[in-house]
Amino acid sequence: MDRAYVDFERLYLLHGVGSFFVTRAKSNLDARRVSSQPVDRGQGLVCDQRVALNGFYSARHYPEPLRRIAYRDPDSGQRLVFLTNHLALPPLTVCALYRSRWQVELFFRWIKQHLRIKRFFGTSENAVKTQIWIAVSVYVLVAIVAKRLGLTASMHAILQVLSVTLFEKMPLKQALTANATAPLYPENDNQLILFEN
């Protein structure tokens, strides 16, 4: 989890039920080193330590030692400090776990940006999963239609057009093509004209 969610009381609850976590340490973390493990600095590792929290409330909320791993990212040069309660994993695996967390965040950002889920109609796990799968299925079907029709419009624009013309009886290519010249309605429709031009 990201460092914005560091709450030692909640982390200790996770530890108590047998889960493990990897999070980034805040810059003002007050902790003392209990022991150190040797690290390979050629792989970007700076330190692998067991630490105990010093702060009154944080030490009370999380009384057990934590593992602190410092890592220097070779791409950006940024120094990252991770905290975990898993003492046996290799330090580079802990760093990789945190990096993979970003993929989960990118997935949820993609869901928020691309899938049209305004609200969930049910709160059970099955209801939420079903609605997400339906939204993903609609997105994939529209992507297949766009590819087969050779459309250059963005997925957002195509979904907008489809949501407006959902109940219109017209060819799909005509609804989705921006330069369609055919009239939207047939010439011999039975609609009366209310106002003359």
Alpha-carbon radius of gyration of the chain? 27
**Mind listing the pLDDT tens digit of every residue in the chain (197 residues)?**
666 668 889 889 989 999 999 988 888 889 999 999 988 888 889 999 999 999 888 899 999 999 999 999 888 888 999 999 998 999 999 888 888 887 878 887 887 777 777 777 888 889 888 988 888 898 888 889 888 888 888 887 888 888 787 787 877 777 777 554 444 455 555 666 666 65
Whole-structure pTM over 0.75, yes or no?
Answer: no
Q: How many Å apart are CA 86 and CA 90, to the nearest integer?
A: 10
> Residue 116: what residue type?
R
> Residue 131: what residue type?
Q
Using alpha carbons, list the distances in angstroms from residue 47 to 39, 89, 125.
6, 14, 40
- Strand 22-24 and strand 66-72: the pairing is unpaired
